[in-house]
Structure 1
Amino acid sequence: MTLRTVDAVVIGAGHNGLVAAAALADAGWDVVILEAGTEPGGAVRSAELIPGFDMDLFSAFYPLGAASPVMTSLDLENHGLRWSRSPTVYGHARSSRDESAPVVHNDVADTAAALAEYDRRDGDAWFDLFDQWTKIRKPMLDAFFGPFPPVRAAASLARTLGAADTLRFGRFMALPARVMAHELFRSEAARCLLLGNAMHGDAPSDAPVSGAMGYLLTMLAQDVGYPVPTGGASKLADALVSRAGKAELCCGSPVDRIDVTDGRASAVHTKGGDTVFVRRAVIADVSAPMLYGSLLPADAVPRRVHEDLRNFEWDTPVVKVNYALDRPIPWRSTSLSGAGTVHLGADDDGLVRWLTDLTTGVLPDRPFMLFGQMTTADASRSPDGTESAWAYTHLPRGVTDDASADTVADRVREVLEEHAPGFSGSIIAEVVQRPSDLMAENGNLYGGAVNGGTAQLQQQLIFRPTPGLGRSETVVEGLFLGSSSAHPGGGVHGAAGMNAARAALGQQGPLGRIRKKVTSSLLELVTRDREEP
């Protein structure tokens, strides 16, 4: 057993925890990172699951990481990170009969020209959409990834667009994905490019604001592409560890509990018996249910927060199938051969049917999936002439058993065979990651949920993770939530970790004490127990 005292403890060495540690270390704080696993990275890790084939275990493509102001500010290229990109960014096969699947090219003119072949008006619409994006890119990214509320970013956006266009853009961002796609484009091909990206979240395509995810990922695809770390996802984690500098990383140190003294986080205890006393802050890169339900004393959390957490909603469980293939994939639509990311299994209407299955607890007969051609994106991932690939899809909400996961994995292979005749014969080996496997590897991925909680409107902004301020500060003084359960949610962008670190730093000094008092008063106002009649 060891006893020590530091300025800050970061619980969890996922990418958000490492970003937070880097920011605190940059400010001169003495920081210890306590990681339960044997290596850092959280959901940003890779391994040779099959000899000779490097495979990303969780996240794989990083448009958010390449564009996020947080990640770009860390200058990770000077810490060994190198990005690789596929010849084309992504594509969407509308059905197994699709022989001309639409794709996004690396050059906007090429994408527009390709879409014009489906409908001339869609080429013009793509140009117009991307032209607007280039004008509002900075305030939009600042709004998405900065702390809530994004006052400065919103003001900058309004100045750029003007009052009339700001009002209409606000309506546009509130649209359901299906409505947004139909308002923007005339052809199903162009619509599917946006709709497939909207499915990276777990909001139904007819839900308000579900179009925002599709819009963001589609514009980033044309802007920065869908890059991958050269050599595997762990190379990104390695760069973040290097960037964290003097912060001390302790792997194999699962946290047992957080002490709260006089309303303040005062110490962190590991299951191995070590105790780290804290002078300034604890930043938790763990899920909200784990933080409030397991790590904190029950009496340190208001009853209303416990009640709110009973309504906490996880995102839909994930099934991931990793493939080692002895040849490139024989797509029926040759346009998909150069795409690092492929969406397939459903067209516009098919996505509605797939989402209905997930909502009603039915295992989809034809799963919609995200498919990654990793060797196409990064030649170092497997031997020449082969392909390291994976498919990623969802189970119905609350369905996490291994048998259901295996059933869906079999159906994934059937869909792939329909889109690429001969695919099954090219499989050297496959490894299925079920919800139980994902959670065993990373406790934050509860039930195979990878987003830290649903991305639907009822659990975003001031409702994330529970009704409150939408900020990283918690009801315990000196304790900050810096995981994907906090605003702005899932994805490898580092914003939750950086927002937590900046909030902790912002509470120092005379102005910081005032800021802390105001925030604490507001938190007390929105979390105090309801009065008994």
Structure 2
Amino acid sequence: MDTVDAVIVGAGHNGLVAANLLADAGWSVRVLEATGEPGGAVRSGEVTAPGYLSDLFSAFYPLGYASPVLRDLALDRHGLSWTHAPTVLTHLLPDGRAATVSRDLERTMASMETFAAGDGERWKQAYGEWSDIADRMLPVILRPFPPVADGLGLARRLGVGGSLRLARRLVLSARELGSELFQGEGARVALAGCALHTDLSPEEAGGGVYGWLLTMLGQQVGWPVPVGGAGQLTAALVRRLRARGGEIVYRAPVSRVLVARGRAMGVRTADGRDWRARRAVIADVPAPALFLDLVGERWLPPRLVEDLAHFRWDGATVKVDWALNRPIPWTTAETSGSGTVHLGADLNGLTRYAGKLATGEVPDDPFLLLGQMTTTDPSRSPAGTESAWAYTHLPHRPVWPAEVIAAHVERIEAVIEKQAPGFRAAIVGRNVFGPGDLERENPSLVGGALGGGTSAAFQQLFLRPVPGLGRADTPVDRLYLGSSSAHPGGGVHGAPGANAARAALARDRLPFYRAGIEGLQRAVYAS
């Protein structure tokens, strides 16, 4: 087998981003994918009924659309185009009231104003504050830790006082942040519902920043989807890579990273073949799988192995896709035009739901994230119909009995039926992915966890995936972690893959880079 400059383990979107960046630098690149198709959690297919296209895992991509990583790849030149629903998001409260975020600022303000006088202006002010720093904030979030250049630029723009206030905002819970910014429940619950796209409760420190980020991005750029399905984002990455000479090998599950004298030399696949790499191995797989299964304890500092015992996954997921013979018959008209709908809980209900998950219980009243895909992209199903999905979380467990999942699907559909009588009668096809199904379809979704590890503050920045450097570098020379288990974590934005590629290029280009990294790692893992 011929040797290439870099071997990428996994053809998820992060692996493909890394491969593209290395190919741009003139490296020869080979991607090894365990399954029969690329994309990882960025894929689509007909799983409910003929003619109905579903996004199998992830769907709406505000971070992907805004990400400087994906933007710089110019994927529009490789067939990717985006489309938007008429409105971005509606949080539908149990009493039928709706808080809606639209790309039209005046429409969003009017919706929030119905909950509390002055909340329309308060929303405008919050969005203005975001707009002033968005061009700096996204690179700070997505670049390797610490983001020195972008961080200093943001600090200069804000000044000392503004920087301290931003730092305080970043550690607030979703409930606390919402209560500081707004008076009414509409804006508060919209923010908290977005925070629950992670595995955090409205009460957890650091959760507010996720709600703030997603709501403000929704206001700024919307929550768009690729025309023709999530798989079109993957297809554009694949086309771009192949145009630069990159290779993808399918059904090639990696069983071992080959290490000699502390350096990654390539990988071995399950069929016994060795695939050599001159310059780098980048792994788009979960951190425990890379370090414990593919590398092995022999090549790792004992303290790192100990820390991995405390690695925490995010919650399990149940996702249901439906083929509907008509649009969802919402009783609240405002909901009909939204690409994404949150429903099943008010603010206190979100806390109760998250509390059930925290104590290992199955919520009786699940909070749902629901996507109306044909509303967003008419190509997803025949005219006059709807391709829709919803997901909710469960506690993370090794196995979920089929009857428990089936009962939870009943609860999910009951939540929708209550707000849209006739929903069940419109179903002409259904597909259920429980936690085990998600992992079977994509081995990186361990136990149905979508985020590559918890979003809690204790596993972010330089603490992700374990206390360390917050960078893609590993204790094995020329081996890099490029999955959502690495900083900055989950979401379809390509940052972990890009950060891994940049680390590999720096290691190859700068003679003293590795010595510096090794010195820092000794300080971290030796004590």
Q: TM-score, normalised by structure 1?
A: 0.97
Match of 2:228 in 1: 231
CA distance in 1, matches of 2:56, 2:303: 37
CA distance in 1, matches of 2:299, 2:175: 44
CA distance in 2, matches of 1:397, 1:46: 25
Whether contact under 8 Å (2:113, 2:120) holds in the other structure is yes
CA distance in 2, matches of 1:117, 1:450: 34
- Indicate yes or no: 2:441 matched with 1:444: no
- Indicate yes or no: 2:484 matched with 1:487: no
CA distance in 1, matches of 2:331, 2:91: 12
CA distance in 2, matches of 1:400, 1:143: 38
| 2:43 alignment partner AA | R
Tell me how far 1:251 sits from its aligned partner.
1.1
Match of 1:283 in 2: 282
CA distance in 1, matches of 2:66, 2:450: 20
Match of 1:81 in 2: 80
Q: Summarize deviations over 1:195-225 as a string: whole Å, max 9, x none.
A: 1100011112111111010000011000110
Match of 1:259 in 2: 258
Percent identical: 50
* Corresponding residue SS for 1:443: coil
Match of 1:379 in 2: 378
* Corresponding residue SS for 1:213: helix
- Alignment of structure 1 residues 99-248 onto 2, 5 Å: 100-244=97-241, 245-248=244-247
| 2:130 alignment partner AA | W
* Corresponding residue SS for 2:472: coil
Whether contact under 8 Å (2:320, 2:409) holds in the other structure is yes
* Corresponding residue SS for 2:416: helix
Tell me how far 1:116 sits from its aligned partner.
1.9
Tell me how far 1:298 sits from its aligned partner.
2.6
Tell me how far 1:400 sits from its aligned partner.
4.1
Root-mean-square deviation over aligned CA pairs:
1.1
Distance 1:37 1:399, change over 3 A: closer
Tell me how far 1:114 sits from its aligned partner.
2.5
| 1:370 alignment partner AA | L
| 1:104 alignment partner AA | V
Whether contact under 8 Å (2:323, 2:386) holds in the other structure is yes
| 1:490 alignment partner AA | G
Match of 1:527 in 2: 525
Among 28, 41, 44, the residue aligned to 2:42: 44
Tell me how far 1:160 sits from its aligned partner.
1.4
Match of 2:5 in 1: 7
Match of 2:273 in 1: 274
Whether contact under 8 Å (1:89, 1:104) holds in the other structure is yes
CA distance in 2, matches of 1:287, 1:359: 22
Tell me how far 1:363 sits from its aligned partner.
1.1
Whether contact under 8 Å (1:317, 1:400) holds in the other structure is no
Q: Summarize deviations over 1:467-512 as a string: whole Å, max 9, x none.
A: 1011100000000000000000000000000000000001123xx1
**Which is further off, 71-80 or 290-299?**
290-299
CA distance in 2, matches of 1:114, 1:307: 50
Q: Summarize deviations over 1:407-427 as a string: whole Å, max 9, x none.
A: 211100111111111111111
* Corresponding residue SS for 2:275: strand
| 2:516 alignment partner AA | V
CA distance in 1, matches of 2:508, 2:361: 52
CA distance in 2, matches of 1:175, 1:297: 38
| 1:22 alignment partner AA | N
| 1:46 alignment partner AA | S
CA distance in 2, matches of 1:70, 1:215: 21
CA distance in 2, matches of 1:395, 1:161: 40
Q: Summarize deviations over 1:75-105 as a string: whole Å, max 9, x none.
A: 011110011110000100111x31x311111
| 1:495 alignment partner AA | A
| 1:79 alignment partner AA | H
Whether contact under 8 Å (1:281, 1:479) holds in the other structure is yes
Tell me how far 1:117 sits from its aligned partner.
2.7
CA distance in 2, matches of 1:63, 1:458: 25
- Indicate yes or no: 2:467 matched with 1:467: yes
Whether contact under 8 Å (1:287, 1:483) holds in the other structure is yes
**Which is further off, 470-479 or 391-400?**
391-400
CA distance in 1, matches of 2:117, 2:355: 33
CA distance in 2, matches of 1:318, 1:514: 44
* Corresponding residue SS for 1:393: strand
Match of 2:396 in 1: 397
| 1:154 alignment partner AA | G
CA distance in 2, matches of 1:326, 1:407: 24
* Corresponding residue SS for 1:102: strand
| 2:450 alignment partner AA | V
Q: TM-score, normalised by structure 2?
A: 0.98
Whether contact under 8 Å (1:7, 1:281) holds in the other structure is yes
CA distance in 2, matches of 1:155, 1:4: 44
CA distance in 2, matches of 1:31, 1:202: 35
Whether contact under 8 Å (1:10, 1:283) holds in the other structure is yes
Tell me how far 1:46 sits from its aligned partner.
0.3
Tell me how far 1:399 sits from its aligned partner.
6.5
CA distance in 2, matches of 1:288, 1:125: 41
Tell me how far 1:158 sits from its aligned partner.
1.4
Whether contact under 8 Å (1:4, 1:275) holds in the other structure is no
Whether contact under 8 Å (1:363, 1:404) holds in the other structure is no
Match of 2:354 in 1: 355
**Which is further off, 140-149 or 395-404?**
395-404
Whether contact under 8 Å (2:201, 2:350) holds in the other structure is no
Whether contact under 8 Å (2:396, 2:449) holds in the other structure is no
Distance 1:114 1:495, change over 3 A: same
Distance 1:399 1:190, change over 3 A: farther
CA distance in 2, matches of 1:312, 1:175: 23
Whether contact under 8 Å (1:318, 1:435) holds in the other structure is yes
Tell me how far 1:330 sits from its aligned partner.
0.8
Whether contact under 8 Å (2:185, 2:347) holds in the other structure is yes
**Which is further off, 108-117 or 230-239?**
108-117
* Corresponding residue SS for 2:488: coil
CA distance in 2, matches of 1:508, 1:424: 57
CA distance in 2, matches of 1:331, 1:485: 38
Match of 2:456 in 1: 456
| 2:368 alignment partner AA | M
Match of 1:325 in 2: 324
Whether contact under 8 Å (2:5, 2:29) holds in the other structure is yes
4+ long deviations beyond 3 Å:
none
- Alignment of structure 1 residues 400-419 onto 2, 5 Å: 400-401=399-400, 402-419=402-419
Q: Summarize deviations over 1:17-54 as a string: whole Å, max 9, x none.
A: 00000000000001100001101001000001121100
